[in-house]
Amino acid sequence: MKISFYGVRGSVSVSGQQFVKYGGNTSCVHVELDCGKHLIFDAGTGLKDLGNVLIKTDQPIYLLLSHHHWDHIQGFPFFAPIHFAKSDLNLLMPAVSENEVFPLLQQMGGRTFPLNYQDLPAQIKTIGLVENSNYDFLTSTRLSTLALNHPGSGLAYKLEAEGVTLAYVTDNELFPPHAPINHYDEWVKFLHGVDVLIHDAQYVDEDMPHKCGWGHSTIRQVIKLAQDAEVKNLALFHHDHERTDDQLDAIAKECDTLLHNNNNLTHSFCTYQGLSLILDKNGLSSV
Ligand SMILES: [Zn+2]
Ligand SMILES: [Zn+2]
């Protein structure tokens, strides 16, 4: 599979000279399976650019939403395929109650966006997902869910396909100040041995305790998780909106040192907008 990062920023999109290298778009990761089908994790502002690529596809598109916070849904109204009748879109999201509209769609309701989601020409199917479940919505793939430790809740995803495993876990606070929905040990179990873990790494130690309870993890905590779960590749994701290119370069170096000092086999890297990787049975490699 090919994994491409269209947005790696957390909370709000940013622009400016200090953010050129890692990019300013919010959460959006594209996975193209070898069979040609398209999966997308989250609909942050990065989804707009991805839409310009996927407008050419005649394959179904599966959008998997972690949760409905703004930085994960704001790209949806600008996703070109929703405006064309030929598009086959499957929206897989944390389930809502019976009479509730998915906030991803509700944002297109006239008040907060000029177009109404009910008028979109694309064929759109919505599917509500729940925690601790397995889904086989695509042939030869398996999707597992675990509830995020995050205000407003949400889902972490583990995708098993083509003999490899990819986990997408954002936004997630590994050690919240209150009782977590899933304890640290549950995360270690859920993520054990995955080939690639994309995890929220929004904060550094200096952000605590001020931002404790805001629903995100520190980089040091995520590194510990990757080591304990024997993850092969850790992709640091959902960078804080204030974090500059220089600071992220320093973080990437520090992570390398931390993992190296512990004699660990986990490889880590800071994701950036525009990064594309191939994951197959031979491991992870650059495109
Ligand atoms: Zn977020
Ligand atoms: Zn969030």
Among the bound ligands, the one closest to the CA of 44:
1
Predicted local distance difference test score (pLDDT) of residue 131: 95
d(CA 5, CA 277): 9
Nearest of 177, 143, 168, 206 to residue 43 by alpha carbon: 168
User: Residue 20's pLDDT is what?
Assistant: 98
Which-ligand-closest: CA of 103? 2
Q: Looking at the CA of 173, which ligand is closest?
A: 2
Ligand 2 centroid from CA 238, angstroms: 10
Ligand with smallest separation from the Cα of 94:
2
CA of 261 to the centre of ligand 1 (A): 31
d(CA 286, CA 118): 40
Tell me how far the alpha carbon of residue 39 lies from the centroid of ligand 1, in angstroms.
19
31 bridge partner residues: 3, 39
Give residue 193 CA to ligand 1 midpoint distance, Å. 25
Contact 71, 43 (CB under 8 A): no
| pLDDT at site 83 | 96
Centre of ligand 1 from the C-alpha of residue 68, in Å: 9
How many whole angstroms from 104 Cα to the centroid of ligand 2? 13
Q: How far is the CA of 269 from the centre of ligand 2 (A)?
A: 22
Q: Which of the ligands is closest to the CA of residue 155?
A: 2
pLDDT value of position 258: 85
**In angstroms, what is the span from residue 11 Cα to ligand 1's centroid?**
5
* CA 171 / ligand 2 centre spacing (Å): 5
Pairing label, strands 28-32, 164-169: unpaired
pLDDT tens-place values along the chain, 287 residues long: 999 999 999 999 999 999 999 999 999 999 999 999 999 999 999 999 999 999 999 999 999 999 999 999 999 999 999 999 999 999 999 999 999 999 999 999 989 999 999 999 999 999 999 999 999 888 789 999 999 999 999 999 999 999 999 999 999 999 999 999 999 999 999 999 999 999 999 999 999 999 999 999 999 999 999 999 999 999 999 999 999 999 999 999 999 888 877 777 899 999 999 999 999 999 999 99
The C-alpha angle with vertex 92 and arms to 36 and 237, in degrees rounded to 5, equals 80
Residue ranges of domains in the chain:
2-286
- Distance from Cα 173 to the centre of ligand 1, integer Å: 11
pLDDT at 257: 86
For the 2-286 domain, the top CATH level (class) is alpha beta
Within 13 A of 149's CA, how many CA atoms are on the CB side? 23
> pLDDT tens for residues 217-244?
999 999 999 999 999 999 999 999 999 9
Q: Which of 181, 197, 201 is nearest to 232 (CA)?
A: 197
Centre of ligand 2 from the C-alpha of residue 36, in Å: 30
How close is the Cα of 163 to the center of ligand 2, in Å? 30
Q: What is the DSSP letter of 122?
A: S
φ, ψ of residue 152 in degrees (nearest 5):
90, -5
Check residue 233 and give its pLDDT: 96
- Cα-to-centroid distance, 68 and ligand 2 (Å): 7
